[in-house]
Amino acid sequence: MLCESVELILEQHYQPPLLNVLAEGALVGVESADPAPTNETVGQLTCAVPSNDFAATCEVIDRKVHEDGAPLEEMVAAAVDGVLSTLDPYNIYLPPSLSDAISDDGVVPGVGLIIGAVTAAGSPCVRVAPSCPLTVATVVAGSAASEGGLVVGDVVVAIDGRSVEGLAVAEAAALLAGESGSMVEVDLVDRNVTLTRIDEQQVAVSAEVVDNTGYIRISYFAAETHLLLHSLLQAVLDAGVNTLVLDLRDNPGGFLFSASIVGSEFISSGDLYLTQDREGELRYPAVEGGIATDIPLFVLVNEQTASSAEILAAALQERDRATIVGLPTFGKNLVQVPFELRNGGVLRLTIGTWTTPSGASVGLTGVLPDVELDIASSATPEGAVAATLAAVG
């Protein structure tokens, strides 16, 4: 599995890494791993490695398995986690038992969080440690985490009474994830909260009519978001509104194809965005059938508008289809794809970058608003609409 993962990284990651750097990360991963010992008997190990650079990693795995009783599968997973720690922060390995702990876009299902363990310098870590705390990177609007008052920057120290120190991010995510309606206790540095898990599909899209304005909030691009958006958009248009406010604040992104179809509701033709990977450039045009291609449109964004939500905002801005109102967005211009491994696990890799139709990147600056305005995340639809219309004159 280590060889398979390294091969995928060498073939697919958008920035070809050096084998010796990957090997150094693998060694750090296995040396820092301290899984509970197992009673299973493991015979002599034959370690097939991507290159001789990984020989030291094999030696550590062999020693910990035979002398300390460490589970072989967990030790190999630790090696892969170490390899990924040498890349950008958005790559992750999900073992078979944790494959449902994080969605394809990094959101922990049920709680609506994106979490990460990074150093003060922003480098990803193999395991949570005092110098590399488990931190909330994004809170999906309307999610269980949002309802529970979690905010970006919160540091998680325990989940259901279990300390997160020493855990990989995927292991911590598995403790947070769960079925809609169930509860999870989260201990933060400065407070404790109990969250009632919610299916993100339930909070993905909402809409209402405020005077003559249709207000639509997309909290997360789930698999069915474009279908929900279409029906709600039709309803507000049928109500006779003369303006639309599309709220993408605190939207961490999600399924790229769903964001593309949503963009096609407002742009009738032409490219929405471009991607660049190891194979070259791909263009993604709008599809026919949009029902709101002419009505005045204002799009709300903030510093937690990220990924495919930024793609949508950037496309609408560059095509002169909407006025962007709010704060500069997160600035995530990387594209991740999940790869299913032969052991049933999932390797989520950054395989490319995206740009606007003209080739502009938001990686450093985010999407810059046409009208800067700080609207509180807690603002009601009526408050958000009033503030927007007042700001744009």
Burial 330-355 (b: 16+ CB within 10 A, else e): bbbbbbbebbebeeebbbbbbbbbbb
Task: Kindly report the backbone phi and psi dihedral angles of residue 245, in degrees, each rounded to the nearest multiple of 5, phi listed first.
Answer: -120, 115
User: From its phi and psi, is residue 150 left (phi > 0), alpha (psi between -120 and 50) or beta?
Assistant: beta
Report pLDDT for 157: 97
Domain residue spans of the chain: 2-87, 98-196, 204-336+350-392
* pLDDT tier for residue 202 given thresholds of 50, 70 and 90: low
Cα–Cα distance for residue pair 367/384, rounded to 1 Å:
19
What percentage of the chain's residues is helix, strand, coil (to nearest 5)? 30, 25, 45
Q: Is the pLDDT of residue 224 over 90?
A: no
Rounded average pLDDT over 386-393: 95
- Classified by CATH at the fold level, domain 98-196 comes out as Pdz3 Domain (2.30.42)
Q: Give domain 204-336+350-392's CATH architecture.
A: Alpha-Beta Complex (3.90)
> How is residue 102 annotated by DSSP?
S
Task: Kindly report the backbone phi and psi dihedral angles of residue 22, in degrees, each rounded to the nearest multiple of 5, phi listed first.
Answer: -60, -40
Q: What is the pLDDT of residues 311-348, one digit of tens each?
A: 999 999 999 999 999 999 999 999 999 999 999 999 99
Q: What is the pLDDT of residues 42-81, one digit of tens each?
A: 777 777 778 889 999 999 999 999 888 999 899 999 999 9
